[in-house]
Amino acid sequence: MIYKDETILWPEGRDPDPAFCGEDDRLSVLASYGTEALSQDPELQQIADFAAKLCDVPYASVTVVERTRQVFLAQTGLNRDGTPRSDSFCAHAMLQHEPLVIEDATKDPKFSENGLVTGVMGLRFYAGFPLISSEGAPLGALCVIDTKPRPGGLTEFQAEGMAVLARSTMRRMSQLRLGQSAIAAVERREADLRDLIDSVPGIAWTSDGEGNFTYVNARWKEVTGLDAPTRVGDCRAALHPEDQDRALERLRTALSGQNLFEDEWRIRLADGEYRWVQARAVPVAREDHEVRWFGTIIDIDRAYRLSEARDLLANELSHRIKNIFAVVSGLIALRSRGMPEVKPFADDLNSAIRALGTAHDYVRPGDGRGADKLQGLLTDLLAPYEGGKGERVLISGDDVDIGARAATPLALIFHELATNAAKYGALSIEDGKVSIEIKLPCGDADEVCVFWRESSTSTQNGDSESREGFGSRMLRMAIEGQLRGSFSRSFSDEGLDVQIAFPLSSLGT
């Protein structure tokens, strides 16, 4: 399009310029305003009504000119929505640099034979003010009409008022076009987003806070062969019978509590096959406190079945490892039989193997102990040292979750401390006791401390602990090397004090 740099005369900063582009381009600009929406605008109707009053005429209109007809976006007294373009006075007015004023159409050579002049309407007076777009495209005119000739045309005041109304008309039309363009842009983006979401391999959905689905992407229909659900209960037909009640109840609970939702279940495909999926949904609060839910359902069948196969293998390996502990312990007992000189060593070795077996119980899949707390591990490890009344070992303080990787080094650490206490420390003396306190947090916010305190009213022999033996080196390696922790120990007349600190992250999975 070609823009002119002439004096600004009309609303959008351009003179009417019929040569700025072809008729098709002009009509394209006109189409961008959306005549259907404009024809229902009450503000344009108010402009037409006021123009008729201002000029004291029976007829007025806001007119745009299409290819074959002129359309009245708003009109006063005309009682029609348009006329053929061949009869249009506005088609001529829109091409003018000044308002088109015809005092008596019967005396104007260009319009005397016009159908609106010779026909029933009997048009005599016409004044049209061009409506020009920001591109310079002539769109139509704001006009007033009378059936009586008007010598002298409009007064200066009326002409000035009509120019103001014409500018107001174009501002309103441009405002509506901008709004329609913004709406169209949003609709295009929403359509693009829906197309994008429909193309993803997973099922995606949104719902209100009550569980009414507001959108479910096309993938649902492709996967399940079912129509998109409207309520949570509508999903039942797509779930495995064994999963239906549990899955829907958990989803309803999450919706009512506005909590993050995650679950795994089996979904029925269109061909009748069931596959494992992972469902996840998050609540999002809007400015008006309304809650919207956004969820996905992702196929995890392959990973799930692979995990099942790995669990089966892990259970088999766990069983074999447990058997190996038993075999090794039996071999030690068998080989040391009748050899009293190696019995202390054999007993120590068997004790260490039993401690490893206890630690293994905490990491065995399926049929393991199922405990995942540090206090539970300590209770099991130190049970053999309790004595008949169970008063020699006291475990107190906070409890801490432990993961599979941390169980084995923790078992070795506290087994070594217990063994030393039984040989040389408090547990080797009749009235000796061991207290273990767990403190969280300790020092740094992400650290847990364990205080091991041995006490007795009798004098203890600490000579064997005054040097760095194999057991002490193993203790240091497990604490500092495997768990990235630290430990310190000190001796007193009452016994031994050990402080161990672990990063909390070292005790996780």
What 8-state DSSP symbol labels residue 4?
P
The counts of H helices and E strands in the chain are 13, 16
d(Cα 368, Cα 502) in Å, to the nearest integer? 25
Mean pLDDT computed over every residue of the chain: 82
Q: Which residues sit opposite 101 in a β-bridge?
A: 127
d(Cα 66, Cα 64) in Å, to the nearest integer? 7
d(Cα 62, Cα 57) in Å, to the nearest integer? 14
When pLDDT is averaged across residues 62-74 and rounded to a whole number, the result is 94
Q: Which residues sit opposite 32 in a β-bridge?
A: none
Joined together, the tokens standing for residue 469 give 């033996």
pLDDT tens figures, 338-393? 788 777 777 777 776 776 666 566 555 445 454 578 888 888 778 777 654 557 88
3-state secondary structure of 389: coil
pLDDT tens figures, 456-493? 876 554 444 444 566 677 778 888 888 888 888 888 77
d(Cα 118, Cα 120) in Å, to the nearest integer? 7
Residue with tokens 């130190």: 382
In degrees, rounded to 5, the angle at the alpha carbon of residue 101 between the alpha carbons of residues 98 and 102 is 145
Classify residue 370 as left (phi > 0), alpha (psi -120 to 50) or beta. left
- Per-residue model confidence (pLDDT) at position 153: 94
Question: Which parts of 387-464 are beta strand (E)?
Answer: 393-397, 433-439, 447-455
Share of the chain above pLDDT 70, in %: 86
d(Cα 208, Cα 275) in Å, to the nearest integer? 27
> Which segment of 225-239, 298-312, 363-377, 392-406 scores lowest on mean pLDDT?
363-377
pLDDT of 15 above 60: no
**Single-letter code of the amino acid located at 403:** G
Backbone dihedral angles phi then psi of residue 355, each to the nearest 5 degrees: -65, -40
- Per-residue model confidence (pLDDT) at position 468: 53
pLDDT tens figures, 243-284? 999 988 888 888 888 888 899 999 999 999 999 999 999 998
d(Cα 243, Cα 226) in Å, to the nearest integer? 18
Largest interatomic CA distance in the chain: 142
Nearest by Cα to 371 from 409, 396, 400: 400
The model carries a pTM of 0.45
d(Cα 125, Cα 274) in Å, to the nearest integer? 80
In degrees, rounded to 5, the angle at the alpha carbon of residue 257 between the alpha carbons of residues 254 and 259 is 55
pLDDT band at residue 324 under the 50/70/90 scheme? confident
3-state secondary structure of 101: strand
Q: Which residues sit opposite 498 in a β-bridge?
A: 452, 489
3-state secondary structure of 412: helix
**Single-letter code of the amino acid located at 30:** L
